[in-house]
Amino acid sequence: MARDSWASRLGVILAVAGSAVGLGNFLRFPVQAAQNGGGAFMIPYFVSLLLLGIPLMWIEWTLGRYGGGFGHGTAPGIFHSVWNKNRFIKYFGVIGIFGPLAIFVYYTFIESWTLGFGVLGLMGKLKIAAADKISMQKFLTNYQTHLWPSYLFFLLTFTANIYVIFNGVSKGIEKFSRWAMPTLLIMAVILMIRVLTLGAPYPDRPDWNVVNGLGYLWNPDFSALLNPKVWLAAAGQIFFTLSVGIGVILTYASYLKKTHDVVLSGLTSVSTNEFIEVVIAGSIVIPAAYAFLGPSQIGEVAKSGAFNLGFVTMPMVLNRFPMPAFFTGLWFLLLFLAGVTSSVSLVQPAIAFLEDEFNLSRRKAVVIFSVISFVLIQPVIFYFSRGVVDEMDFWVGTVALVVFALIEVILFSWVFGMDRAWEEIHQGADLQIPRIYRFIMKYVTPLLLIIILVSWLANSKEIIFMTNVPPENKPVVLATRLSLLIALGVLAALVKIAWRRRRQLEG
């Protein structure tokens, strides 16, 4: 069965950029910058981009393209292609299927809230709730815990994801990304322009203005650079924002032709993501909140975290805009599009695994994935308030990502070897990567990943030992951990079956 492929270079760049551009760009980045030194945060941010983000992006694009040449679209097969003398390396690649699947399970439910809030916002249904913080928090809690209408919007969101993925790589993901990314960008620019032209919305409070809001976000506090946590936060933000360490880019890159320029494509997708995150997202949330809520509340807003910022603070702020229903709807539908471009990428590794290693048709693979993922999402929905999502996000959306990225870097730089790796990266490339990156990829990037992993684990003892988990929630949290281990074991067993089947067919 012939593998699918991208129809154009622009299509794959937009798809990879779409995978990276998600809820975190518009919600997590402004909070991280505001909490960690404002403009000074950008120094460790860009250092991390150069030493961690861009090298990992190039590594994943190159590994994916290389493995795709052997007919493998997921990490187990790609890792085996790189180190075929090691019979166990393919099992380390299981994380590259497990991670996207597990993240999809909870990300899709949260993503569906953006669709629900977008529709309700356009209908003017959020106007009363968004009058104050307490009312908005109560509205959000009710939305999360009551099946109607949240379950309806979940079904619509789930169906939209499956529809895109059902149509394949070029006719589904690429076609969707080619209109979704420009549309998302236009919506974001409209919101940014509206925010930047607000001035001082209250005549009697001239210091409550957008310029001061931008100053709050970007004026540098250089003393923050002496705090190791600021550097760690910057590295973490780069890691999350580029979607590296998940396994998605490996799969996307496996559909490239051997002569595709991964150097330029990788840089272009990174640049697109950074423009949207730093320039556009950085000009919307915090400045708007400062102009309407004032300097006394902006600190509390920044400390409340990305989640409350998006679903509690922003509805309150947008409710004070002229044409509040339009801008509230625009904000949440922007988040919805950003969410879908990310979530469809999370589906593709599992589909590619079933297609490539079990020779299933696209239709059968999508049906199997749809049934399994739909069943797995139900506990997330019904036990959301019991800490399921937080637990999954820590182990899968944080720890597993760094572990997987570390495996990739070691495999690429040390096992494959920098000489071969350097030649493979530049296959078909018009640009020459500075030779300093040979040293960075081999030594600096893995060292940074080890520091990040050790630091996160050291600072997460309360999560690991469930210190702050209410007694009534501990059985649910333990059940979540057990479920994750079982899922990991099942996928490892499927990898074993797939390779045994492959040997039989070759024999």
Six token digits for residue 320: 């004070």
Q: Which segment of 171-180, 234-243, 244-253 scores lowest on mean pLDDT?
A: 234-243
Over residues 328-342, the mean pLDDT reads 96
354, with CB counted inside 10 A (0-12, 13-18, 19+), is: buried
Is 283 in contact with 26 (CB distance < 8 Å)?
Answer: no
42-46 — which CB contacts under 8 Å span 24+ positions? 42/278, 43/225, 44/225, 44/230, 44/231, 44/233, 44/234, 44/235, 45/234, 45/237, 45/238
Average pLDDT, stretch 200-227? 88
| Tokens describing residue 24 | 């975190």
**How far apart (Å, rounded) are the C-alpha atoms in residues 465 and 475?**
13
More confident residue, 285 or 91: 91
Backbone dihedral angles phi then psi of residue 429, each to the nearest 5 degrees: -85, 140
pLDDT at 1 (0 to 100): 62
Checking if the pLDDT of 477 tops 80, the result is yes
Question: What's residue 297's pLDDT?
Answer: 82
Proportion of the chain above pLDDT 70, given as a percent: 100
DSSP state string for 111-135:
HHHHHHHHHHHHTTTTTTGGGSHHH
Instruction: Give pTM, 2 decimals.
Output: 0.95
**Considering Cα of 221, then 55, then 399, then 313, what sign does the dihedral take?**
positive
> What is the rounded average pLDDT for all residues in the chain?
93
Beta carbons within 8 Å of 23's beta carbon, 6+ residues apart: 110, 111, 114, 306, 310, 335, 338, 339, 342
Flag whether pLDDT at 147 surpasses 90.
no
Lowest mean pLDDT among 50-64, 131-145, 289-303, 402-416: 289-303
Between these two residues, 133 and 334, which has the higher pLDDT value? 334
Kindly write down the DSSP assignment for every residue of 231-268, as one continuous string: HHHHHHHHHHHTTTTSSHHHHHHTTS-TT--HHHHHHH
Confidence of residue 249 (pLDDT cuts 50, 70, 90): very high
* pLDDT for the residue 178: 96
**Which residue reads 């949260």 in tokens?**
110
Predicted confidence (pLDDT) at residue 39 exceeds the cutoff of 90: no
Confidence of residue 331 (pLDDT cuts 50, 70, 90): very high
The one-letter code for the residue type at 145 is T
Q: How confident is the model at residue 349 (pLDDT cuts 50, 70, 90)?
A: very high
Phi-psi region of 100 (alpha: psi -120 to 50; beta: other; left: phi over 0): alpha
Residue-wise pLDDT for 403-425, tens only, equals: 999 999 999 999 999 999 999 99
Taking residues 254-264, what's their average pLDDT? 94
- Total residues belonging to the chain: 507
- Residue 316 neighbours by CB under 8 Å, 6+ apart: 130, 131, 132, 133, 136, 292, 293
What pLDDT band is residue 305 in, cutting at 50, 70 and 90? confident
**Residue 290 pLDDT grade (very low, low, confident, very high; cuts 50, 70, 90):** confident
Mean pLDDT of 476-493: 97
Average pLDDT over residues 237-263: 93
- The answer to whether residue 507 scores a pLDDT higher than 70 is no
